[in-house]
Chains A and B, each alone.
Chain A
Amino acid sequence: MQAESSRAWGLAHHFDNFEQQREASYLGMWVFLVTEIMFFGGLFTAYVVYRSANARAFALGSKELDITLGAFNTAVLIGSSLTMALAVWAAQQGKRKQIALFLVLTILLGGVFLGVKVVEYRAKIDHHLLPGPDFHFPVTEVDEILGVQEGNVEMFFNLYFAMTGLHALHMIIGIGVLLVMVVLALRGSFSRKNHNLVECMGLYWHFVDIVWIFLFPLLYLLGRNI
């Protein structure tokens, strides 16, 4: 009876109904995001440990970062979260063209973010702030008396590149999935009943956004006033 009518297109064979399928995919996505939190958590732990040991060196490193570009990127990323949320809204309404439109906007904003990131990375490399044999950071005499060593500043940039790099990798993967989803949306793969992929991608994109919301103050803002 119920099962017959609901064995519709888009409902996997092992689910009883769309509701079960939807709840399963949401829970799956949330569990995946928990693993992501733990994954980034390792790096955040390293940041906290080393920052508490070398606060001044980290603040000096922080001062080298471009706060304007960082703030601009923060705004861009929050904007992309808005367009992503609108894509989810469009999916709930079953408006396939609008889904595609908002997904494309999200991709564009994500692209802008990555582009700015490339500019920032380039500047750091030019200033010999890329960790490795070429790293060079002049420590003033005052700072040396205060216990700052060049290596401690290098550690800040180790973490800067590891954390923002991992974040950027998540953006790149996200943009890749979004591109596939634009095609799916135009083909009409998402219906009002079945648009779990859009919802789950929304969760992912907001997660990546939130990681940046933590990265920005930790890396760009903390201790700049020294």
Chain B
Amino acid sequence: MSAEATTNLPRRVNYLNVDHGVKSWLLTKDHKRIAILYLVSISFFFAIGGLMASLIRLELATPAGDLVQADVYNRLFTAHGVIMIFLFLIPSIPAVLGNFLIPIMIGAKDLAFPKLNLASWYVYNLGAALMMWALLRGGADTGWTFYTPYSSMYANSEVILTALGAFIVGFSSIMTGLNFIVTIHRMRAPGLTWFRLPLFVWAHYATSLIQVLGTPVVAIAILLVAAERLLHIGIFDPAVGGDPVLFQHLFWFYSHPAVYIMILPSMGVMSELVTAFSRKRIFGYRFVAFSSLAIAVLGFLVWGHHLFVSSQSILAGVIFSVLTMLVAVPSAVKVFNWTATLYKGSISWETPMLYAIGYVGLFVIGGLTGTMLATLGFDIHVHDTYFVVAHFHYIMVGGAVMGYLGGLHFWWPKITGRLYPAFWSKISALLIFVGFNLTFFPQFVVGYLGMPRRYHAYPEEFQVLNVLSSAGATVLAVGYILPTIYFIWSMRYGERAGANPWGAYGLEWQIPSPPPTHNFEEKPVVTTEAYDYYTLKEKRVA
């Protein structure tokens, strides 16, 4: 209608051009600008974490430990893990896309606590700065898991700084989660009932619950490690009857649910992408919505599967094994419902849809191998091998990163008001899919054959598979560099997007791109279900 025509006027005031100068960005309370700040920060740390990964793959191209020494290698994979998990994956979708979209999707002007939102970005950067300082001083060598007693008693590296960095970043994660929970409860537009919410919002609600319930537990665990190193308060010290395995329990009580902090938001993105590019309502809305909550709840009951070989009783192991397999149920519900949504949909192969389809394939492989690992006997066989490494990369990179990139490609026109080149973006999506599989599929095989993780050298018979993996990492790197280039290019030279370039359904597509600072000229009133593409089509025809 006429809405599209008026939004293309060049001089319209939006959140990007309403104010200029560094100060207007660093002191902003606008959730959209804070999302951009986060985008810049996490992209930077993604690059650093990626650099570590490149060095790791370079070392593993040959069986001998020739590029770096064993100790340096330990520091490399620790830095890679800590940076990618705490500084990239956990904040990625919530702090960037969630921050930008949740207030708009629920018809609000901002998150409930804008100052807290800005504070979370500063806290994040403070923690990140500590970690980077630790890295410059040589980094930690404990692995991202900081297992005691190595981390608390023996490690001769920057454990405290790195751990405190993770501790502080945790607070920013809590702030974001708290803000989302309150916003989703209290700020919804009139008529926007819980079951009319976009599934992206449901997924973030479930994620926020985990952030709020889990993060404090790892915070106290990390704090106790620091207290043991600094103040001799040896809670995990066996010499005074302490139990190092207690640390593992506390750590995984958060860090397993943390995996769902990474994957749930990307599942929310998936629901948006699949519906938008098949022009259909989601199949089984309530099932998809509740499966997010089910994953969040079950996620808290499965941490023991990380302790199958850590002196946990067989009974506990069996219970955790069964509970872990239960997570497959809500996960499968989602995959089946996305697939059923495609059925008889009017599918178009835009770039975000390529990511979505790639996501389903990779997530299914990651999920099924996860069920394999939940099996006690099999896990003991492949524990701490590359099979595990491949599994969690399929979930975290194949799932979370694919979802993040798909979402970024989907909402980029909304965020910047510009379109990126379709051809190059499809090439990069393809490169990432191929490169990812080439990198990580061989690791399933080499892990099953018995190659342990976290060693810088390996027997010669594993070289072919490792070279394949390293070659794949190169392709993957190209796939990640391409979007960086064309996204930056598009901000200046990209075609203007208009309010709704994809013809998608949802409140965020009914306002101009980029949106004005207060998002809505008038408070929206919601009268329809989510993804009501049928009515949208009827309106167009009329």
Contacts and interface: CB of A to CB of B under 8 A. Distances in A.
Interface of A: 12-14, 16, 20, 23-24, 27-28, 31-32, 34-36, 38-43, 45-46, 49-50, 53-54, 57, 131-133, 149, 151-152, 154-155, 158-159, 161-162
B241 A54 contact: yes
Interface of B: 108-114, 116, 174, 178-179, 181-183, 185-187, 212-217, 219-221, 224, 227, 231-235, 239-243, 246, 249-250, 518, 523
Nearest to B227: A162
Nearest to A132: B232
Contacts of B233: 131, 158, 161-162
Contacts of A42: 216-217, 219-221, 224, 250
A35 B210 CA distance: 10
8 contacts: A34-B213, A42-B224, A49-B246, A50-B241, A50-B243, A158-B234, A162-B224, A162-B235
A27 B217 contact: no
A49 B215 CA distance: 21
A45 B250 contact: yes
**DSSP class of A's interface residues: helix, strand, loop or mixed?**
helix
A27 to B, nearest CB: 5
Contacts of B235: 46, 155, 158-159, 162
Please indicate which of the listed interface residues A13, A24, A50, A152 has the most CB atoms of chain B within 10 Å of its own CB: A24
B240 A154 contact: yes
A158 B250 contact: no
A197 B112 CA distance: 15
Contacts of B214: 38
A35 B250 contact: no
A143 to B, nearest CB: 14
Contacts, number: 116
A46 B241 CA distance: 12
A138 B276 CA distance: 72
Given A34-B213, A50-B241, A43 B220 contact: yes
A174 B312 CA distance: 40
Contacts of A12: 114
B231 A132 contact: yes
A38 B213 CA distance: 6
Contacts of B231: 131-132
Please indicate which of the listed interface residues B116, B216, B240, B246 has the most CB atoms of chain A within 10 Å of its own CB: B240
B185 A27 contact: yes
Contacts of A149: 241
Nearest to B189: A16
Given A13-B109, A45-B250, A31 B178 contact: yes
B240 A28 contact: no
Given A20-B187, A42-B250, A162-B224, A28 B241 contact: no
Q: Which 7 A-B pairs have the closest CB atoms?
A: A42-B220, A151-B240, A39-B216, A132-B232, A38-B216, A14-B110, A14-B109
Contact of A50 (B221, B242, B518): B242
Nearest to B108: A14
Please indicate which of the listed interface residues A28, A42, A131 has the most CB atoms of chain B within 10 Å of its own CB: A42
Contacts of A155: 234-235, 240-242
Contacts of B181: 27, 31
